[in-house]
Chains A and B, each alone.
Chain A
Amino acid sequence: QKEVEQDPGPLSVPEGAIVSLNCTYSNSAFQYFMWYRQYSRKGPELLMYTYSSGNKEDGRFTAQVDKSSKYISLFIRDSQPSDSATYLCAMRGEYGNKLVFGAGTILRVKS
């Protein structure tokens, strides 16, 4: 079993839909949780960064962390074709600096 599980998709939604992307993990020591967006042939771009459990909102993006369930989510409101990309979840423990990545979910927003 992988430390971080993420459905690779692809996930196809119509423009304007609310998108829900998720990751589950097995290591209870993870404390820092990140979501990255990666366009084809580009480096990942940090979208959201959260510490421990809770919610964080930034514009159309909301990140949720439920440590009791070992489950994190990224919601995208009013999705746009420009949101079409691969979304990677990543996490790490309190100490150390290595990130553990999910496989990435391919999102396609159709106009």
Chain B
Amino acid sequence: GAVVSQHPSWVICKSGTSVKIECRSLDFQATTMFWYRQFPKQSLMLMATSNEGSKATYEQGVEKDKFLINHASLTLSTLTVTSAHPEDSSFYICSASGASGRAQYFGPGTRLTVT
């Protein structure tokens, strides 16, 4: 149980375009979803937390207008990187937790390359 999927697993886009990443909890209802960014050989950096039906809470330094997060249902959250630039190239990982909110289950990650 506790499976989280992400789509796409990798994406290449041109500078100035937008890209959407989907995160789905497959076998449980995710009341809270999290979006992380990870640079090579570094730990996870939390970008934002979202609860179903509510606006996301962004961490300090994360541009909310650039990284749009939608958590419209208990099984789906999306991260849209708007007007992407090469510095946005990174590994983006989502996680989800259920009603108990104790453990977080991570998706497989999405590698974004902006050319």
Give the residue of A32, A44, A49 whose beta carbon is less than 8 angstroms from that of B106.
Answer: A44
Give the residue of B2, B42, B44, B102 whose beta carbon is less than 8 angstroms from that of A32.
Answer: B102
CB-contacts of A3-60 with B (<8 A): 32, 34, 36, 41-46, 49, 51
Any A CB within 8 A of the CB of B105:
yes
Instruction: Give the most central of A97, A101, A102: most B CB within 10 Å.
Output: A97
* Contact B108–A43 (Cβ < 8 Å): yes
In whole angstroms, what is the CA distance A103 to B46 when docked? 13
In whole angstroms, what is the CA distance A103 to B45 when docked? 11
Any A CB within 8 A of the CB of B75:
no
In whole angstroms, what is the CA distance A32 to B109 when docked? 24
CB-contacts of A83-109 with B (<8 A): 88, 90, 97-99, 101-104
Given the known A-B contacts A44-B93, A97-B32, are A36 and B49 also in contact in the complex, defined by CB atoms under 8 Å? no
* Contact A101–B43 (Cβ < 8 Å): yes
Any A CB within 8 A of the CB of B89:
no
Any A CB within 8 A of the CB of B61:
no
Interface residue count on the B side (C-beta < 8 Å) = 23
Interface size class of A (residues with CB under 8 A): 20 to 34
Residues on A with C-beta less than 8 A from B109 are 41-43
With A42-B109, A46-B106 given, can you name 8 additional A-B contacts, CB distance below 8 Å?
A: A41-B91, A43-B106, A43-B107, A44-B44, A46-B103, A46-B104, A49-B103, A90-B104
A/B interface sample: 25 pairs, CB < 8 A? A32-B102, A32-B103, A34-B104, A36-B106, A41-B109, A41-B111, A42-B108, A42-B109, A43-B6, A43-B106, A44-B44, A44-B106, A45-B106, A46-B103, A46-B105, A46-B106, A51-B102, A88-B43, A97-B32, A97-B49, A98-B46, A99-B104, A102-B43, A103-B43, A104-B43
Q: Which residues of A contact B (CB under 8 A)?
A: 32, 34, 36, 41-46, 49, 51, 88, 90, 97-99, 101-104
